Every structure is written in structure tokens, then in C-alpha cells.
Structure 1
Amino acid sequence: MRTPSTQRRALLALAAALIAAPAAAQTEWPTKPIRMIVPAPGGGGTADTIARILAQELEKPLGQRVVVENRGGANGNIGAAEAARAAPDGYTFLYSWAGTLATNISLYRSLPFHPQRDFEPIVFIGTVPNILVVNKDLPIRTLKEFEEYARKNPGAINFGSTGNGSSMHLAAEMFKARTNTDMTHVPYQSPATATNDLIAGRIQAMFQLVVGIQGQVRGDLVRPIAVLAEARAPQLPDVPTTAEQGMPGLVFGTWFGLLAPKGTPAPIIARMNREMNAILADEGARARLIQAGLAVGGGTPEQFAALLDSEIRSHAELVRAAGVRID
């Protein structure tokens, strides 16, 4: 027969076990493969390439496969909505970017998700800057000359982009607003088609992504004018920035971040933030990401949340200035 003291010890042991069980379960995470939803088609694009590098690096400290799932469509809305609906159990994450997370909330009349309400920010991954490039027949070699040409020939410069609200479109709209000039937007389905038309002279300019146009710049197929960043791009170190050419406020690019469905346990968010920051600081991983075109970021979930809030507001102003909406 149990004495009161043995009963009390048994109850204390049971209570300790019950308290420890959730903690133990938490420390065991992850126990199965993790999926990283990328709301864009696969095939080696900038976003997909960076996501796959991160997934490969994450497998090392987590001890589980990290599977990249491409869910393209509707400017990223389809994949983001799927991630928002996923169970907040630490086995689904969203890797996305400025267009889907900051632009679409103003660009679309309704969204199947809300970037702040439906997600927990984890970490800011980094940016890929835009670069102004022109057709080689255009008599322009500097940012000032481009501004003067646009002012003297309103509407004559046709600039290509990958669609309304894309970084290429909004970068041009920012330039127009800052310089009070007018250019004609020509949206394309793919950056490759737009780039080919730029080389052929069917359009005169693009605010392309550095990583997407670096080969054509090195091959002397297009003329680079300015990188829209605070520092020169390591991929094209000879191309001056907008700041160097007298327009320090003309900075634009697409940024990337990692998020989890709202309600994902805080210890998992903290662990993922810690592992991602370690990857972004690792010399080998960092070199791979830079080679893919990324200006590497990092930081806390709170810093990423503040960035997201600021970007949503600034992109709303650009969308209003562009006068574009998608039903």
C-alpha cells in the first residue's frame, strides 16, 4: 500500500512528466520532412535558385529533408494562399518576395491571404537590385542623360517589365515620380522575351534585375546605366549606382523572406531564425547566394516584420502612382 509520501512523489513525477512532454516534443522538432512553398514556377529563376540553396543548407542543421514546392500563378498569390492555409505545425514555410508580400495587397482588389495577418515573419533573406539598361542604339550613357532624354521625349521611351506591379515596373514608376518624366510601359509574360526585344530595339529600356541581365551586359548586348542600390552589385562591379550619379533615393529591388503560417509555435520560429542567420553568415553558403545574385540579409523576426510593414506602405504609393489595379 502506498504511503502519503510515496503518493505525493508519484504525483510530482507525473506532473513533471506532463510538463516535460511538450518541451521534449518541441526539442525533437523536426521529425519529418519540411516543405518550403515557393510561389513561382521552377526552372532556375532567381527566386527558385535561391530557395533551393537555402533548402539544401537547412537540411544540415535540421537533419531532415527540406522540399521546395513550386506553386506558381497569379503573381505568387496561389502559392502564398496555400501556405497560409497550411497547419501551423512547423512543417510548412513560405519563401516569398516583395511582389507577393508587399505589392499585391495594393495591386489586387482582393487577395486569398493577408501577408501580415496570415503569416509569422521569420527572417529577411536579402535583396536582388534592379538595374537600368538601355538598347545600345539609344544615345545615352549616364543616368542624367537618360533623365534628360526622357524629359525631352515624353512617352518615347518604351520600357519593358514582367507585368503590372513587378519590380521592373515599379522601379520605372519610381524613376518617373522622382524625375517627373513620362515613359511608356510595355508588360511582358517573361523577362527573357522583354530582354530579347530590348536587344532588338523594339523597346528602349528595362529596369531589369541584375542577376537576370548580367550576362547580356557582360556580352555587350545592352548598355548598363545604373544599379538602383546603395552599393555596387558584385556581379557588375563596373556599373555605378544611382547614388553615385546624383539620385541617392532611387533605390529599388526585389527582396526575399521566409515566413510561417500564423500560429506556428514560437520556439520553431526562433529555431528557424537562428538556423537561417547561421546560413546567411556562413562563408560557403553566402558565396553561393551572392553568386545567385543576392545581396545577403539576415536579422530578427521583428526586424523583418517592420520591413514588411514599411514596404507594404511604400509599394501602395507606387501602385497608386502607376494607376494599376487587378480584379
Structure 2
Amino acid sequence: MMTTPAASTRRRTLCAAAAMLAVSAAWMQNAQADTWPSKPVRVIVPAAPGGSADPLARLVSEELARVLGQSFVVENRPGANGNVGSASVVKSPADGYTLLFSWTGTLVPAITLYNAKPYHPQKDLDPIVLIGSVPNVIIVNPTLNVKTPAELTQYAKANPGALNFGSTGSGSSYHLSGELYKKTQDVSMQHVPYTSPGAVLTDLVGGRLQLAFPGVTAAAPFAKDGRVRAIAVMSDKRADLMPDVPTTVELGMPALVSETWFGLLAPKNTPVELRQKINATINAALKTPAFRDRLVGLGYAPLGGTADQFEKQLAGDILKWGEVVKFSGAKVD
């Protein structure tokens, strides 16, 4: 079929218009990145104050505010193991003015644990950057006469179902670390869910719980003054906040490793230029001694990297912890 000159002209005109629209859209996105942020940015932390997340979220928000010249306001929105706060971010406009500060124990269970999923972390959120990680630690009430994981396992086997371990909710890192312990050591313990780290630690100190598996940052003050006994850090490297506590890998338990990473995410389809701006700011901060030392001083190991690396980390942990959830039999409607 022969193309007429008029048709050819129309085709060229349409192609030129499409190219102009693409250039215009790119220009607008770049312009938006240049002026962002022009008003305060909300950073949603989907948990109550007092756990491992809060101090890091505030440190990161302070740094973003300092570099980008606008307020980054931390808002704690606890509930349903992070689902309440996370879902509120998913429903927010994808304009860069609402960010999610989240971690392994809230994002992974949203897929692996909940039957009625309020959101899907891989489909409804854009990863921006990993910031830091903290290992979980096995702590016990000092009245429990165990000083090593081997002694704990021996006690648990001799007293099946007698030990109660607390968590910050079904699917949290506290919970899944406990289930990982049960799975690898073939023991029976009772899971008792709470709504905040403070409540878990209060009841552990008070003797209503016998053990817990919190992050090192939350547990360190309680272990330092003897209110709890730390028997092993669930990592291959000793924690700076607990240098005298051996790791599970040291003690011959290489499968008993649990670390929680923390990162920033945004509602799906937030302009990539804005996400890249945040990523670059955090990665630059992680290279400065002042920021890095503060982060390490709080008990975190610095991470950083690309959004793609964050995406792969999330996918890998969904696979790993999904197996632990399946073992535990836990499900939340």
C-alpha cells in the first residue's frame, strides 16, 4: 500500500509531538527535583517510640533536613505490626512529601504473614535506600538459670512449652527471631505478642516473660544495668554496644542469624528524580565521619547502596522469612 505525502507528514508531526511531550515531561520532573522539597516532608515510622527504629529515623531525618534545607518530620504510627503506618503511606500522594521509614520486621510479614494484606510492599512502594542494620540478641530474665544458648536449648527441651518469649507483634523481628530459634533448635516455646518494645522489655524485667529476641539497640541499656541477661548476638560479628556478648556463629550456630535492616521508601510512582536525590543524600552522609560515627554509636552497621540493591534485599528476605513463618504456622487475618 502506497503512503501518501499527507499521511507521511501527519506521521512526522505525531512523532515530533510525542518527542516534544517526552522532553517536556522530563524537563518538568527535573524541575520538580530541583525545587523539592519546598515544604515539610513527613517521615512515617510505623511503630511506637522506644524501639530500634526511632533513634535512627530521627537521625536520618535530621540529616536530610540539614542537607536539603527543609523540615523532615518524624511521625510514629503504630498498629498491626507496622501495617497501619505503612498503609497510610501507600495511600498518600506520590509527590515526595510522605516517606516511609521501615525495616525487615514490618515489610516482610506484610506478604508472608497476613491473609488480608492491607498493602504489598513490592507493588505499592518504591525502595529508596538502605540505611543501616542491627542484629537481634537473645536476652533472658536473670532469674532464668541459663547463660548460653546451649543451656537455654537444654532447658527448653526439658520444659517444653514452659518458656514465654515476647515480641512486638506477630511477624515482627522479635517474633520471627524467636521462631527461627525454635526451628533451628527444635524446641517448643510460647509466643506472647505486645504492641511496643517497651512493653516487652517491661514484662521481661518483671518476670512475666522469660526471654525475648529484640534488636541490640533496644536491649543494650537493660543488659548494661543487669535488668536482663544477654546470652548471644544473632550475627556473625559482635555488636559494638555489646562487645562482651558472643555471637551465635561463634557458638557454633551459623543458621541462627537474624539482623534487621532499616531503609526509606516512598509511595509507588514517586518521581525517580526525587528518590535519587534522597538516595544520593543518604549515601553521601554515610561516607562522612560525623554521621557514620553517630549511626555506629547508636548500634547500627552502615549500609547504603542503590535502590536496586534494596529491592533485592527485600525479595531475598521475603523468601527466607517466609519459610520461618510457614514453620511457625502463624497467620493473621
TM-score by length of 2: 0.87
Supply the distance in 1 between the matched residues of 2:310 and 2:117 (Cα, whole angstroms).
21
1:209 aligns with 2:210: no
Supply the distance in 1 between the matched residues of 2:115 and 2:129 (Cα, whole angstroms).
28
Cross-structure match for 1:70 = 76
Whether the aligned pair in 2 keeps the contact of 1:46 and 1:292 (CA below 8 Å) is no
For these two proteins, the number of residue pairs brought into alignment is: 312
Instruction: Specify which of 253, 256, 269 is matched with residue 250 of structure 1.
Output: 256
| Shift of residue 211, structure 1, vs aligned partner | 1.5
1:256-267 alignment to 2 at 5 Å? 256-267=262-273
Encode CA deviations 1:182-239: one digit per residue, 9 max, x unaligned: 1222233433333233334333222122112212211122221100112111111100
| Shift of residue 306, structure 1, vs aligned partner | 0.3
Whether the aligned pair in 2 keeps the contact of 1:46 and 1:293 (CA below 8 Å) is no
Which stretch shifts more, 127-136 or 189-198? 189-198
Cross-structure match for 1:38 = 45
Encode CA deviations 1:33-77: one digit per residue, 9 max, x unaligned: 222222223x45432221111111011221222122222222211
Cross-structure match for 2:35 = 28
1:217-232 alignment to 2 at 5 Å? 217-232=223-238
Whether the aligned pair in 1 keeps the contact of 2:165 and 2:191 (CA below 8 Å) is yes
Supply the distance in 2 between the matched residues of 1:323 and 1:165 (Cα, whole angstroms).
11
1:132 aligns with 2:138: yes
Whether the aligned pair in 2 keeps the contact of 1:117 and 1:262 (CA below 8 Å) is yes
SS at match of 2:250: helix
User: What is the percent sequence identity of the aligned residues?
Assistant: 48
Encode CA deviations 1:151-182: one digit per residue, 9 max, x unaligned: 23222222222232221111111011111121
Q: Which runs of 5+ in 1 are unaligned?
A: 1-14
Supply the distance in 2 between the matched residues of 1:163 and 1:44 (Cα, whole angstroms).
15
Give RMSD over aligned pairs.
2.2
| Shift of residue 21, structure 1, vs aligned partner | 4.5
Aligned partner of 1:104: which letter? A
> Measured at CA, do residues 201 and 25 of structure 1 come closer, stay the same or move farther in structure 2, by a change above 3 Å?
closer
> Measured at CA, do residues 305 and 19 of structure 1 come closer, stay the same or move farther in structure 2, by a change above 3 Å?
closer
> Measured at CA, do residues 267 and 133 of structure 1 come closer, stay the same or move farther in structure 2, by a change above 3 Å?
same
Cross-structure match for 1:326 = 332
Aligned partner of 1:122: which letter? I
SS at match of 2:243: coil
Whether the aligned pair in 1 keeps the contact of 2:51 and 2:197 (CA below 8 Å) is no
Supply the distance in 2 between the matched residues of 1:140 and 1:44 (Cα, whole angstroms).
27
Instruction: Specify which of 294, 313, 321 is matched with residue 307 of structure 1.
Output: 313
Q: Which runs of 5+ in 2 are unaligned?
A: 1-19
Supply the distance in 2 between the matched residues of 1:154 and 1:18 (Cα, whole angstroms).
67
Aligned partner of 2:157: which letter? R
